[in-house]
Chain A
């Protein structure tokens, strides 16, 4: 069989049809960036596939499937309501059911924290892929938004059910959930790119991430209303956490919580998020060329 092959090949060379070549690629030291954004666009389908893979796997692997996505917010809601609403006695002064208040905060928080977590692990978790195949590496942390979003939607349905149960109507202002969700998405991508790249270079970085996320749960008004923070410089600093404005926004949009968003620091925090995102992309891009050698 082998001996026949060269003859075939030689015959082949004479009938080669000239296919217009689709593109020219120049690979040069330190110049990978040139076509990067073009590549990102070219590989956009891969982004969808990665997101779809993570979602499919997530809901396949677990026996209870979708119920899993409900379990976490429900458990967290119960625990946080117990700690802050009952133990700390915050529920007494609230207009809404404390459960609803917590769940409304839980929605964006869970989206943010699980995306940051997944994004941080995305490169290390796909090490084999990184060392075998080229694609814009940014696809991996970015596509973790998909699972976060799927979980968010399921939890959101739970939220709607709870609102019906407690007799809170859905107003048109609920549409404002979208920009706040977008803001949470950008924030998680900003942190996620930093963490993902750091995780490749420094393997013990993964021990830090859960601590940061855990601290974030309490430094964001997930289990309590944000007006518990005394006004003044303290409140301003507290509101620099982008999730504070997002959670306030969710509560306002869904429940009509009159306290609303403390806008000045929220806008400042959004600028900070953009800065973190840009620097995160810069760092990611700088480290990206060595991922395959290091991972």
Chain B
């Protein structure tokens, strides 16, 4: 194997300018506003003491999403990237896949990069499955010859043979995602960038995706950068991990060590904050969750009740917002993920902010004492709107199952406080 790294990143930085007054932090401007600002600047220049336009200066603020990031990746490595929301993971991936340009520093790539940032972008609903395979393949950077060569493989992987000549707008959401992933999975890049989005979908599909990633890496020795919040998957897939925090590399080493550092940091941060956790918001879709709260309390019938509350809000009216929930242990082991398909939690028409409450009865019976995190995700049939990872946390007091003064604790005894009865009698033999 060549000793020259396939990815070299030096002093990488990306600066965004964010606007404070605006509700949505997008920084496109309107022409009239630019003209107005120009006029006020002019006015200020002409009459330096006037107050005209002074406030404008404070509305724009610089924000470094990434700063001074440097690392190298050897060919064939599978690297897991962890970090809190806003730590710079997505920005890093965007820079690597050349979607946006760095503000400073450089990246050297020895090979083609393909990113699975969001499968299915570039699908056109009016076009048939066949047409979309070609279109999407071309958008992802495949040549026509490559697409033709892989066409049968894509169709077989997506299991859509019978619907090839049907417009994809008539596809079920499952078929849609399968086809989209199938196209992306048959790219032949040297470097593959995979975002967590892949981890949505049903379990069978997830398995298939992970299996495909495994195959891609095994057969061709491709380099994979994998961003996920799912520590179990990361630990299984990756040899090396990189942790980002506030736009800098906070840890870089064997995956297991990095996961440890990350979880430690999460716990510390949680201990620090104490106050109400902030909500999360998707700029892209203009939908968000605020004032989340989770607590375990005594229910009227004497059992424990987990109560998760949050306010769902959107900039524009939204139809059919599906709400999913996932409970994890503080170190990322999934306890339960309940997709809206299963629960049927759907908000038909979201206009004004909605106060939502999810309750889970008798929670202490099922979960061991310890710390848990809650993830709420919002989706439309075919796309994820917001995945609010680590939205809120709650703790369960450990249970003294047998009244012997020894409690069943998550970290030491496991996840489920099973209760056993003990009986024995002399055996015949």
Which of A's residues lie within 8 Å of B, judged by CB? 1-3, 5-6, 8-9, 11-13, 15-19, 21-30, 32, 43, 45-46, 49, 52-53, 56-57, 60-61, 128-135, 198, 200-205, 208, 289-290, 292-295
Give per-residue flags for B219-240: 1 if the beta carbon is below 8 A from chain A beta carbons, else 0.
1110000000000110011010
CA distance A280 to B69 in the complex (A): 34
Q: Is the CB of B28 within 8 A of A27?
A: no
Q: Does B57 sit within 8 A of A, measured CB to CB?
A: no
* Chain B residue contacts of A290, Cβ below 8 A: 100-101
CA distance A20 to B151 in the complex (A): 24
Q: Is the CB of A135 within 8 A of B139?
A: yes
Q: Does B121 sit within 8 A of A, measured CB to CB?
A: yes
Task: Identify which of A8, A43, A292 contacts B100 (C-beta below 8 A).
Answer: A292
Q: Does B309 sit within 8 A of A, measured CB to CB?
A: no
CA distance A9 to B76 in the complex (A): 10
* Chain B residue contacts of A2, Cβ below 8 A: 210, 232-233, 236
Number of interface residues of B (CB under 8 A): 69
* Chain B residue contacts of A295, Cβ below 8 A: 28
Q: Of A19, A21, A129, which is in contact with the most chain B CB atoms at under 10 Å from its CB?
A: A21
**CB-CB nearest in chain B for A28:** B106
CA distance A27 to B233 in the complex (A): 30
**CB-CB nearest in chain B for A25:** B109
**CB-CB nearest in chain B for A135:** B139
Q: Is the CB of B138 within 8 A of A45?
A: yes
The smallest beta-carbon distance between A3 and chain B, in angstroms, is 6
Q: Is the CB of A9 within 8 A of B30?
A: no
A-B contact list, 7 entries, CB within 8 Å: A8-B218, A24-B109, A28-B106, A43-B141, A56-B131, A60-B126, A133-B97
CA distance A290 to B210 in the complex (A): 33
Q: Is the CB of A49 within 8 A of B190?
A: no
Q: Is the CB of B28 within 8 A of A23?
A: no
**Binding-face segment, B112-120, B242-250, B314-322:** B112-120
**CB-CB nearest in chain A for B139:** A133
> In the complex, how many residue pairs between chain A and chain B have their CB atoms under 8 Å apart?
177
Q: Is the CB of A61 within 8 A of B126?
A: yes
Q: Is the CB of B99 within 8 A of A27?
A: no
CA distance A23 to B135 in the complex (A): 24
Q: Is the CB of A9 within 8 A of B78?
A: yes
Task: Identify which of B28, B34, B121, B221 contacts A13 (C-beta below 8 A).
Answer: B221
CA distance A101 to B239 in the complex (A): 73
- 10 other A-B residue contacts (CB within 8 Å) besides A1-B207, A5-B236, A29-B105: A19-B220, A21-B111, A27-B107, A45-B138, A45-B144, A49-B134, A53-B135, A132-B118, A204-B32, A292-B94
CA distance A86 to B103 in the complex (A): 61
* Chain B residue contacts of A202, Cβ below 8 A: 28-31, 34
Q: Is the CB of A294 within 8 A of B210?
A: no
Given contacts A22-B190, A134-B99, A289-B100, contact A49 B139 (CB under 8 A): yes
Q: Is the CB of B139 within 8 A of A27?
A: no
Q: Is the CB of B109 within 8 A of A56?
A: no
Given contacts A46-B139, A134-B98, A295-B28, contact A6 B122 (CB under 8 A): no
CA distance A28 to B104 in the complex (A): 7
Q: Is the CB of A28 within 8 A of B34?
A: no
Q: Is the CB of A29 within 8 A of B109?
A: no
Q: Is the CB of A128 within 8 A of B121?
A: yes
**CB-CB nearest in chain B for A60:** B126
Give per-residue flags for B57-91: 1 if the beta carbon is below 8 A from chain A beta carbons, else 0.
00000000000000000011010000000000000
Q: Does B140 sit within 8 A of A, measured CB to CB?
A: yes
**CB-CB nearest in chain A for B119:** A132
Q: Is the CB of B98 within 8 A of A27?
A: yes
CA distance A133 to B30 in the complex (A): 25
